[in-house]
Structure formats: structure tokens, C-alpha cells
């Protein structure tokens, strides 16, 4: 899909920003380019749509040399998202999204239909199309920034630290949404970041760069397991290497397979009895087929004891769930961020499979740092 052949970028006479780079990117692949400031990652990306012209070598898209195509046409065929979002303040969201289709002279009805189709992808209502960028939150704006890149349905999208300016919780949500979108639409993504967590979470393969050269290209798992050299090790950071185990462990491997549950038609007094027996303060609510309905906790029962009699009347359905094949390290992060005590594990049909609790995590952390000298310190920071 995208091939770099001995590509270099030289500034002035001697300063090599990128030095003889070779890289092959497959169709549908999510590539993260990562490295310290000034390593040439942004230059590498911008050479793809010729915002920066390569000094030597060739870049091929689907076998065609980018230097043989007019710049403007090339760029219209490649999606582009920048960190500062760059929505045009004097155009409505709809106009912003369909800018490239307009440049490509799509008829008006087709543009409108496309805008409506796209805005649904990010779960925003159609009303947003008539609003202006400054009326949206940062997270919403960058969703629009991503949609704008998708508008003409380009097979390749370049992203320059697109989530870097967002707050951690918004970023987390957007990363997930975007990864999901990318997989559904089968786009090839070249994504520049300096955030290792982001790269590990999103990338199919990570390209680590330093001083204009590629140090290592591999899947996140492989990079965590076998860093190519000391630079990569330092760049990943010791903390992450210690966490490598949670990094590659799936939720299904460590979850508790017999969570404390209650049937939704049971009475509240049964629920309390159950809690006392199992010494827990909340229960997962399920139906006949073992589908997860929600949860109840002791406080809810306390408040509604007089008004309600069955569990289904007070069940809390808003809860965060994970799948068996989710990575445990993402799950840990989310539990810590959201301050939840546990996360139920479900399958595709929402059938309850198990539960990950903070106690499960403590076991895991204890296992993974067993034998580490600073285990005591690590434990205190995690508590």
C-alpha cells in the first residue's frame, strides 16, 4: 500500500532530518510512528502527502510514485488530521466535513448525504451539522476533524498527534472510538505520536524512530517483549516493561469466573442475604439466559427497601463492561481512571462470563513484580 524506499530529507547541506528510511505499510494497517522530539517522525509523515518534499528516495502509494502526481490531487486522496484540529471557524460543521468533497466537486445533495452519514459514525446528532466549530467541545471538534479526513473516503489517512491536545479522559474515549472506526472501515493509518501508551493501544505495528532513522518496527507486544536495544527500552520505560505482563494478558485469562450474581426477579431481601453470604456490597444482575442486566449495590437497596420489592425495579443498568479478549492493561487503566471497584466481563451477546475486581489486579501486580527489588515501592504507589 505505502512504501518508503531509501527516503531522506536533508535541510541545508548537512542536517539530515530523515536518513535513508525504508518501510513497507500494508493495506488496512494502523501504523504509529513514535520517537523523541526531533527524531523525524513528523517529517516522515508529512513527506507522504508532500507537505514536505523528500530530498532523496521514493515514496510509493499503491505502487505509484507520489512525486509523479500533482500535489493537490495527491492530498485530496489522502486524509489528514492535525493536533490543533484546524476546523475552519467561519464554516459550519457540515461545510467543514465536506470540504474535500467540495474541492472534488461532488454535487450538493451527495455532499449533504455524506455529511449526515459521517456524523452518525461518531454518535452526534444531525443538528450539529449546522453549528459552528467554536460551539463544540474540544473532543467533539476533533471527532469532526477525523470525519473531515474520512469525507471523501480515502484509503489512507495521516494523523499528526491528533489526540495530543485533549484531556486524558476525552482522549481515552476518542482513541477507542477511532480504533473501532478504523477497523470497521479498513483504513490504512499513519499516526504520529510521542505517547507510548497511545501507540501500544492503537497500533498494529509501531515504528520507533531516533535521529532520523528507524530503530525498531514491530507489533506492540513484540516491542514490549523484545526491545531492540537500550534506547527502545528506555523509551518504553521501565514501568511499562514491568507491566508487560498485564500488557499482553487478556482479561479472560485472569478474571474471576464465578462472580456474585442475582437473578433479576429475586426479591431485595434475597439480595441482601446473598450479599451477606458472599461478603460483597454489590451484585451483578442477570436474566434467565445469563445475560448481564446491570448491578445493584447495598446503598440502592437501603434507599429503596420500602418502595420496591424485586431486584429488577432498582437495577442500575449503566455500567462499564469489557470483553474476554480485552487487554488487561487497558482494563486496569480504566478501572483506576473511573474509580470503579470491578468490571464485569461479557461475551458478544452480553452474556456474563466473569468479573475483574481490584483484588484480581492486586494478585496480578503482585505476580508480575515478584522478585523485583523495588517491589515494596511499586506496591505503595499502586495502592
Partner 1 sequence: MNAMIQFLNDQGTTLLYKTWEHLFISITAVLLGIIVAVPLGVALTRFKKAAETVIRIVSVIQTLPSLAILAFFIPILGVGKLPAIIALFCYSMLPILRNTYISIKNTDQNLLEAGRGMGMTSWQLIYKIELPLAVPVIMAGIRISTVYLIGWATLASFVGAGGLGDFIFDGLNLYMPELILAGAIPSTILALLADWTLGLLERKLTPTTTSKQSELA
The minimum distance between CB 109 and partner 1, in angstroms, equals 21
Residue from 42, 49, 175, 357 binding partner 1 (CB under 8 A): 49
Residue numbers 258-277 binding partner 1 by CB under 8 A: none
The minimum distance between CB 136 and partner 1, in angstroms, equals 11
Binding of partner 1 by 85 (CB under 8 A): yes
Q: What angle do CA 21, 25, 29 make, to 5 degrees?
A: 140
Closer residue to partner 1 (CB): 102 or 290: 102
Residue from 12, 72, 125, 258 binding partner 1 (CB under 8 A): 72
Q: How distant is the alpha carbon of residue 192 from its chain centre?
A: 14
Residue from 1, 51, 280, 319 binding partner 1 (CB under 8 A): 51
Binding of partner 1 by 257 (CB under 8 A): no
Closer residue to partner 1 (CB): 136 or 255: 136
Residues sharing a CB contact under 8 Å with residue 22, sequence separation 6 or more, in sequence order: 4, 5, 6, 7, 214
The minimum distance between CB 72 and partner 1, in angstroms, equals 5
- Give the contact letters, 350-369, x = binds to partner 1 (CB under 8 A), - = no: --------------------
Rounded CA-CA distance 265/287 in Å is 8
Rounded CA-CA distance 251/138 in Å is 32
The minimum distance between CB 87 and partner 1, in angstroms, equals 8
Binding of partner 1 by 80 (CB under 8 A): yes
Among 60-68, 81-89, 187-195, 232-240, the segment contacting partner 1 (CB under 8 A): 81-89
Three-state secondary structure of the chain: CEEEEEEEEEECCCEEEEEEEEEEECCCCEEEEECCCCCCHHHHHHHHCCCCCCCEEEEEECCEEHHHCCHHHHHHCEEEEECCCCCCCCCCHHHHHCHHHHHCCCCHHHHHHHHHHHHHHCCCCHHHHHCCHHHCCHHHHHHHHHHHHHCCCCCEEEEECCCCCCCHHHHHHHHHHHHHHHHHHCCEEEEEECCHHHHHHHCCEEEEEECCEEEEEECHHHHHHCCCCHHHHHHHCHHHHHCHHHHHCEHHHHCECCCCEEECCCEHHHHHHHHHHHCCCEEEEECCCCEEEEEEEHHHHHHHCCCCCEHHHHCECCCCCEECCCEHHHHHHHHHHHCCCEEEEECCCCEEEEEEEHHHHHHHHHHHCCCCCCHHHHHHHHC
- Give the contact letters, 97-116, x = binds to partner 1 (CB under 8 A), - = no: --xx--x-------------
Nearest of 37, 21, 330, 348 to residue 202 by alpha carbon: 330
The minimum distance between CB 81 and partner 1, in angstroms, equals 9
Binding of partner 1 by 135 (CB under 8 A): yes
Residue from 24, 26, 84, 267 binding partner 1 (CB under 8 A): 84
Residue numbers 148-207 binding partner 1 by CB under 8 A: 148, 158
Residue from 8, 92, 326, 375 binding partner 1 (CB under 8 A): 92
Residue from 86, 139, 155, 173 binding partner 1 (CB under 8 A): 86
Among 72-80, 115-123, 255-263, 330-338, the segment contacting partner 1 (CB under 8 A): 72-80
Binding of partner 1 by 240 (CB under 8 A): no
Closer residue to partner 1 (CB): 85 or 365: 85
Among 126-134, 216-224, 244-252, 310-318, the segment contacting partner 1 (CB under 8 A): 126-134
Closer residue to partner 1 (CB): 76 or 329: 76
Q: Residues interacting with partner 1, by CB under 8 A?
A: 49, 51, 71-77, 80, 82, 84-90, 92, 99-100, 103, 130-135, 148, 158
Amino acid at each position: 500500500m505505502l512504501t518508503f524506499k531509501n527516503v531522506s530529507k536533508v535541510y541545508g547541506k548537512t542536517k539530515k532530518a530523515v536518513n535513508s528510511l525504508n518501510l513497507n505499510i500494508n493495506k488496512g494497517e494502523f501504523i504509529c510512528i513514535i520517537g523523541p522530539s526531533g527524531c523525524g517522525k513528523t517529517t516522515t509523515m508529512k513527506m507522504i502527502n508532500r507537505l514536505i518534499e523528500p530530498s532523496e528516495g521514493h515514496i510509493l502509494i499503491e505502487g505509484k510514485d507520489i512525486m509523479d502526481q500533482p500535489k493537490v490531487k495527491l492530498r485530496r486522496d489522502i486524509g489528514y488530521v492535525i493536533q490543533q484540529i484546524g476546523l475552519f471557524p467561519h464554516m459550519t460543521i457540515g461545510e467543514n466535513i465536506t470540504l474535500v468533497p467540495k474541492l472534488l466537486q461532488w454535487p450538493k445533495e451527495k455532499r449533504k448525504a455524506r455529511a449526515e452519514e459521517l456524523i452518525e459514525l461518531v454518535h452526534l446528532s444531525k443538528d450539529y451539522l449546522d453549528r459552528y466549530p467554536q460551539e463544540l467541545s474540544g473532543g467533539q471538534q476533533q471527532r469532526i476533524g477525523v470525519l473531515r479526513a474520512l469525507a471523501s473516503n480515502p484509503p489512507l489517512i495521516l494523523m499528526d498527534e491528533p489526540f495530543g491536545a485533549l484531556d486524558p479522559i476525552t482522549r481515552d474515549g476518542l482513541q477507542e472510538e477511532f480504533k473501532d472506526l478504523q477497523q470497521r472501515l479498513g483504513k490504512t493509518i499513519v499516526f504520529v505520536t510521542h505517547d507510548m501508551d497511545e501507540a501500544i493501544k492503537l497500533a498494529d505495528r509501531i515504528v520507533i524512530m531516533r535521529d532520523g532513522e528507524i530503530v525498531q518496527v514491530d507489533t506492540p507486544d513484540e516491542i514490549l517483549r523484545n526491545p531492540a536495544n537500550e534506547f527502545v527500552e528506555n523509551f518504553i520505560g521501565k514501568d511499562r516493561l514491568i507491566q508487560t505482563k498485564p500488557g499482553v494478558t487478556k482479561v479472560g485469562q485472569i478474571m474471576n469466573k464465578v462472580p456474585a450474581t442475582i437473578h433479576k426477579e429475586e426479591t431485595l431481601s434475597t439480595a441482601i442475604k446473598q450479599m451477606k453470604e458472599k461478603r460483597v456490597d454489590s451484585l451483578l444482575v442477570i436474566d434467565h439466559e445469563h445475560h448481564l442486566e446491570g448491578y445493584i449495590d447495598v446503598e440502592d437497596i437501603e434507599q429503596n427497601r420500602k418502595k420496591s420489592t424485586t431486584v429488577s425495579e432498582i437495577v442500575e443498568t449503566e455500567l462499564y463492561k469489557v470483553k474476554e479478549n480485552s487487554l488487561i492493561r487497558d482494563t486496569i487503566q480504566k478501572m483506576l481512571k473511573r474509580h470503579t471497584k470491578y468490571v464485569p466481563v461479557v461475551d458478544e451477546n452480553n452474556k456474563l462470563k466473569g468479573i475483574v475486581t481490584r483484588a484480581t489486579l492486586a494478585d496480578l501486580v503482585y505476580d508480575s513484580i515478584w522478585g523485583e527489588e523495588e517491589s515494596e515501592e511499586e506496591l505503595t504507589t499502586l495502592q
